[in-house]
A and B are shown apart, each in its own frame.
Chain A
Amino acid sequence: MRIVCPFCGERELGEFTYLGDAKPQRPAADAGEDAVYDYVYLRDNIAGVMSEHWYHGGGCRSWLKITRNTLTHEISAVEPAAGAGAAKVGA
């Protein structure tokens, strides 16, 4: 697999680390155990196009949101995580 890092350009799979589905959002601080359980443990485990978190640890150390098909491994989009890079959100 080759991933086009928005900061570094096209790089080989070995430079990246995978975390998982990017869809689950961390619940707010006042959410109960059920909501956090759902966030931490339950997965849609999509067979098809999925949005995922990848980390470019072998490069710029950015977290990326990658749209990838789990049936074919085809990558259709790569975007930086909200807080990636030097600029701050809203700054």
Chain B
Amino acid sequence: MKYSIFSLARAALSGHKNWQRTWRDATPKDRYDVVVIGGGGHGLATAWFLASEYGIRNVAVLEKGWIGSGNAGRNTTIIRSNYGLPGNTGFYELSMKLWERMEQDLNYNTMVSQRGVINLYHSDAQRDAYARRGNTMRINGIDAELLDLAAVKKMMPFLNFDNARFPVQGGLLQRRGGTARHDAVVWGYAHAASALGVDIIQNCEVTGFVRDANGKVTGVETSRGRIGAGKVGMAVAGSSSRVASMAGLRLPIESHVLQAFVSEAIKPLLPNVMTFGAGHFYVSQSDKGGLVFGGDIDGYNSYAQRGNMPVMEDVCEGGMALIPMIGRVRLLRQWGGIMDMSMDGTPIIDKTPVDGLYLNAGWCYGGFKATPGSGFVFAHLLARDESHEEAARFRLDRFRRGAMIDEKGVGAQPNLH
């Protein structure tokens, strides 16, 4: 049933008894042309683009829990394309353009809200770095504005301009950046992909790869039996190393815990998405009213999906330093997700050395905003067996070749990216 105000009104007349499942509850078939491991945003987007752009509809998405139960359901919902290095810039802009048409593509309101993302700067050096980045964006046809102090004050008069340890001097603004409703992105892709014939199979954990005599992957072993596949794509950020190890692969990735926080719901307070340049803090306000914020990863390898207090305190210190009016707003919930931290802070979307196995991993902090773009280029790779031009630098061998994409310039130290 097409979703609209009219279908809602009709459904209301019958007490909403006629709504169908948002996505079909599929039973695994023996074989698919493509099996995507991971029912998060990336996996589901991949399946949808395979079906809608590349005409490959005999596709299964396998999810060990319930769809969206990984990082798609645990992030701070920010979308932006304000990257500075070749490889990232074009890719994230591709993703941004897909965000801009998502609701119409999927017939699902994912609440893409282009309310603006501003990165504040507090020193001349930081301004210069943002100028370089903003100019890169403009050269790539992406919107970017460098705001001076007066402009920032006008836009966000509530920041601490009076007695800050590191006074705000200005900011780099991307007006097209913003937020989206993270869970709805998952459900929207599931809804649309399922309608095109994609099987979404929950509670189906991959336990191994099926290989032929040449070592080619021809399927997966799962908690719901063996499933044959022409190709297998992994989109399991957070578990990439664990799944890859079943195929004997070691990855340039570490798993780290990233905490995020939400406050109680309050009336509109923060108009846009902002990042503090003198501490580790970024925040936006959800449509429901909660302040959604986060900071650094805890900094040690972890699969525990929970963090510790030092980072929690560090994040709130950043928040109070930047926006002293949030002191009495109460933190409602903290959670931790497992980040695939790659060795240069940039994702990997590539074939693997194992024939038939394709990798989409290493998203670091950037996974949510990449969701549609990641699905699009991964579908391209799976369908065409070659990298999409906007993902051509996200190769697995870039570390071996020395062609890292290191926005922060901290090298092979994942917990610093």
Interface residues of A (CB under 8 A from B): 1, 12-14, 17-21, 33-34, 37, 40-47, 50, 52, 68, 70-73
Indicate if the CB atoms of A43 and B310 lie closer than 8 Å. no
Residues of A within 8 A of B413 (CB): 19-20
At the interface, yes or no: B136 with Cβ under 8 Å from chain A? no
Residues of B within 8 A of A1 (CB): 300, 308
Mark B294-330 against chain A: 1 for CB-CB distance below 8 A, else 0.
0000011111100010100000000000000000000
Mark B338-350 against chain A: 1 for CB-CB distance below 8 A, else 0.
0000010000000
Residues of B within 8 A of A70 (CB): 255, 301-304
Q: A41-B412, A42-B251 are in contact. Are A47 and B303 (CB under 8 A)?
A: yes
Indicate if the CB atoms of B308 and A13 lie closer than 8 Å. yes
Residues of B within 8 A of A52 (CB): 300-301
Q: Which of B390-417 contact A (CB under 8 A)?
A: 399-400, 412-415
Indicate if the CB atoms of A13 and B310 lie closer than 8 Å. yes
Residues of B within 8 A of A43 (CB): 241, 250-254
Q: A13-B310, A45-B241 are in contact. Are A73 and B250 (CB under 8 A)?
A: no
Name the CB-closest residue of B to A69. Answer: B304
Name the CB-closest residue of B to A33. Answer: B400
Q: B377 to chain A: closest CB distance in Å?
A: 23
Interface centre among A20, A37, A41, A72, by most chain B C-beta atoms within 10 angstroms, is A41
Q: A22 to chain B: closest CB distance in Å?
A: 11
| B310 CB contact (under 8 Å) in A14, A34, A45 | A14
**Known interface pairs A17-B299, A42-B252; 20 further A-B residue pairs with C-beta atoms within 8 A, sorted by A's residue number:** A1-B300, A20-B254, A20-B413, A21-B254, A40-B412, A41-B343, A41-B399, A41-B400, A43-B251, A43-B253, A43-B254, A44-B241, A45-B301, A47-B241, A70-B301, A70-B302, A70-B304, A71-B303, A72-B304, A73-B302
Residues of B within 8 A of A50 (CB): 301
Indicate if the CB atoms of B303 and A20 lie closer than 8 Å. no
Q: Which of B17-57 contact A (CB under 8 A)?
A: none
Q: A86 to B62: give the CA distance in the assembly, Å.
A: 54
Indicate if the CB atoms of A42 and B250 lie closer than 8 Å. yes
At the interface, yes or no: B242 with Cβ under 8 Å from chain A? yes
Q: A21 to chain B: closest CB distance in Å?
A: 7
